[in-house]
Structure formats: structure tokens, C-alpha cells
Amino acid sequence: MDETARKKLLEEYASTRSSELREKIILEYAPLVKLVAGRLSMYLGYNVEYEDLVSYGIFGLIDAIDKFDYLKEIKFETYASLRIRGAILDQIRKMDWIPRTIRQKQKKIDQVIHQIETETGRGATDEEIAAKLGISEEEYYDWQSQMKVTGLVSLNEYMESGSDVSQDSGRNTAARFESPEENIEKKELSKMLAEALELLTEKEQKVITLYYYEELTLKEISNVLEVSESRISQLHTRALQKMKAKMGPYMGILANSV
């Protein structure tokens, strides 16, 4: 179905609230739910089943279908993506399944990274972090795999600090003037992001760029960089850990780059 047909379908549903049309829209946008769920699963690893994330996301899609105002200047895909992501994260927060041991490991890693970077004035290497933790590099890589789950913490902090999912979020910003405060904040954020990227190794920078800006999948990135998917996952987790120390609550911008 092309974009014009999908738009017409949404308009018809808004007028009739037909359950049959609603089912058609759900089926039409099911791939969008899978896309958003797939991106969030990057943070979760094997801690939550992908199929569960998709099922949580379906509720967000249904919510988007019922609340979408097609008269406003926003694409349904943009609005629905926010609702789908919000529904998944809401369910994850309710589950509160992050084990204490994982939280403790994350805290130790953050402390060690900060200590090494303070002492050396540069980014910490995997070898240095593992040595400081008193574990082997292989064990540290295992820790990194477990740390994916804590990536949601920064998402939660970002969303709970006032990032409301609204239709205005997807508006074309060219349709209004930016206030001086907004302009300054955008410049500051861009500067912070650039500085955070400088903390990464060349491979880590490539993973972040390919994943968030080029929107490649893990498998596609592994083919480009000619390393395994598990190594790409490790590089991604490591990069987020480094960037989190610099960007704090602004880490949410990466999660919202779907």
C-alpha cells in the first residue's frame, strides 16, 4: 500500500472508527512495530524476548491509531514510532526486572572509567578497565553484554524528565521560529554530542554512526566492519557507556533516533 492509500485509510478510520479499518491499519504498520522493537532490543540483549517487545509495541500502535489527528502537520509514522516506543518502555519500567548485580556492575564500570580518564586525561581502553576491575578481558566483554539492559536507564531518565510523547514532537520545525533559548540549547547539545563522540575509538565511532545515523542493522554493520555481530554489540555497549558519562540525560536523543 502506498503513502496516499495509507493516509486515506487513516482518514476513513478517523471518521468511521470502524474495527475492520483499524485491523487493516494495524497490519499495515506492523513492520514499524518490529523496527522500533528491534532497535530497543539492542539495549536489552537477551534479557527480554524480541517477540515480547513487539507485543508491547502493538499496544502503542493501537494507541497511536486511536489518538492520531491526521489534520495536523505530522506523518503518522513519526507519531506512531513515539507511541510504540513509549508503550514498550512503559511496560519495561513496570516489570522492573533489572537485577541488582547488573546495576552494581554498571556502577563499578562507570567508576573505573571515570578514575582512569581522570588519571590519564584520555579515554579508557577495554584492557585498562578489565585490569582495574580485576577481571579478564573476556569476562569484561561478558559484563558488557549484560550492560545492555542498563541502557534503558538513560532512556527512562530522559522520558521521565519531561519528554512527553505528543504529536507536536514530530512537527516540521521549519513551520515556526526557534526562540533564542532553543537555539542556544541546540548548539550546546551539538557541541556535547561532538565531544562525546571524540571519546570513542575509531571503530566505536563507526558503529554509532552506522547504527544511529545510517540506520544499518547489526548484521549489516558486522558485514561492513568485517567483525562478528557479538563484537559489534560489545562496541555499541562500550560506546554508550563512554558517551553516557559526557551527555548524561541527553543520551535519550540516541534512543529517539529511530
Find the angle CA(145)-CA(193)-CA(84) to the nearest 5 degrees. 60
Residues of the chain below pLDDT 50: 152-185, 255-258
pLDDT, residue 164, reads 38
The residues spanned by each domain of the chain are 3-95, 100-255
pLDDT, residue 131, reads 93
pLDDT, residue 150, reads 52
pLDDT, residue 44, reads 62
Spatial distance between the Cα atoms of 158 and 90, rounded to a whole number of angstroms: 13
Whole-number average pLDDT of the chain = 75
pLDDT, residue 183, reads 47
Spatial distance between the Cα atoms of 220 and 104, rounded to a whole number of angstroms: 33
Spatial neighbors of 108 by CB under 8 A, at least 6 apart, are 133
Q: Which fold has domain 100-255?
A: Arc Repressor Mutant, subunit A (1.10.10)
* Span 67-98, pLDDT tens digits: 998 887 788 998 998 899 888 888 877 765 56
Instruction: Decide if 83 contacts 61 (C-beta within 8 A).
Output: yes
How big is the chain, counted in residues?
258
Query: CATH number of the domain at 3-95, please?
Result: 1.10.1740.10
Instruction: Decide if 66 contacts 170 (C-beta within 8 A).
Output: no
The grid coordinates of residue 182 equal: 532553543
pLDDT, residue 251, reads 60
- In this structure, how many other beta carbons lie within 10 angstroms of the beta carbon of residue 63? 16
- In this structure, how many other beta carbons lie within 10 angstroms of the beta carbon of residue 100? 7
Spatial distance between the Cα atoms of 103 and 175, rounded to a whole number of angstroms: 43
Percent of the chain, pLDDT > 70? 71
Q: How many helices (H) and strands (E) does the chain have?
A: 13, 0
Q: Which residue matches cell numbers 540549547?
A: 185
pLDDT, residue 168, reads 42
In CATH terms, are 3-95 and 100-255 the same topology? no
pLDDT, residue 38, reads 82
* Span 103-124, pLDDT tens digits: 788 788 888 988 998 898 887 8
